[in-house]
Amino acid sequence: MLEALKQEVWEANLSLVEMKLVLFTWGNVSGRDRNSGLVVIKPSGVSYEALRPEDMVVVNLDGAVVEGLLHPSTDTETHLALYRAYDGLGGVTHTHSTHATAWAQTGLPLPALGTTHADTFYGEIPVTRAMTPAEIAGEYEKNTGHVIVEALGSRDPLHMPAALVLSHGPFTWGKDAKASAHNAAILEEVARMAILVRTVRPDVVPMQKELRDKHFLRKHGPGAYYGQG
């Protein structure tokens, strides 16, 4: 079942290691099949070195395992909450990459300071609010997804393909599993840049709106002209 998607999700998970975004088993990637709506996700606690395409777990949007011998990632319900909220998402990635996680632990949104940020993220990257004790004690992973959706508000999720979960770490998404992992790498790099900039100049202000819009829209707007079409 969904063998091509299992391969894609497996490759996206391994790319987190290649891009130095994960240690041990600290991350996961999922992908959604457009036709069936089923989701393929990394199994919980399995090292990347041991991971095989056939180990990927297939679940439905209610969280029930449809196929797989292993338990799905403990973050599965967070992924599913995002898929349920946004039809346009085809992949979700979660990591504990150093700089993006450090920024999430500040409780501050990540400002757009330069064009590297603006090429992918349209404005400041939101950070979630603190979860209530009841949210943590209850359906914690599902509620993590809910506070991400709440933090995004009216933003287009493909124009803001990331959020920082307070005291936890980054989640990113995209049109497919590979794109979501790609966005995780970009988020880590722009968080690293922002930390360096704030170290040199703590009072730096966000980039000018006109430059932000130019760089984002030339890649993602209706008149986009970046690349080879």
Ramachandran region of residue 172, left (φ > 0), alpha (ψ -120 to 50) or beta? beta
- Catalytically annotated residue among 33, 55, 119, 213: 119
Q: State how far the Cα of 155 lies from the Cα of 209, in Å rounded to an integer.
A: 16
Active site residue 140: no
Find out whether 54 and 68 touch, Cβ atoms under 8 Å. no
Which residues fall within 8 angstroms of residue 158, CB to CB, at 6 or more apart? 88, 89, 174, 175, 220
Active site residue 119: yes
- Catalytically annotated residue among 87, 140, 156, 226: 226
- Going edge to edge, which strands form the sheet with 27-32? 65-67, 57-59, 39-41, 27-32, 91-95, 169-174, 162-165
Find out whether 122 and 224 touch, Cβ atoms under 8 Å. no
DSSP code for 5 = H
**Residue 156 main-chain phi, psi, to 5 deg:** -70, 120
> Taking CA 72 as the corner, what is the angle to CA 140 and CA 58, rounded to the nearest 5 degrees?
120
Catalytic residues: 119, 226
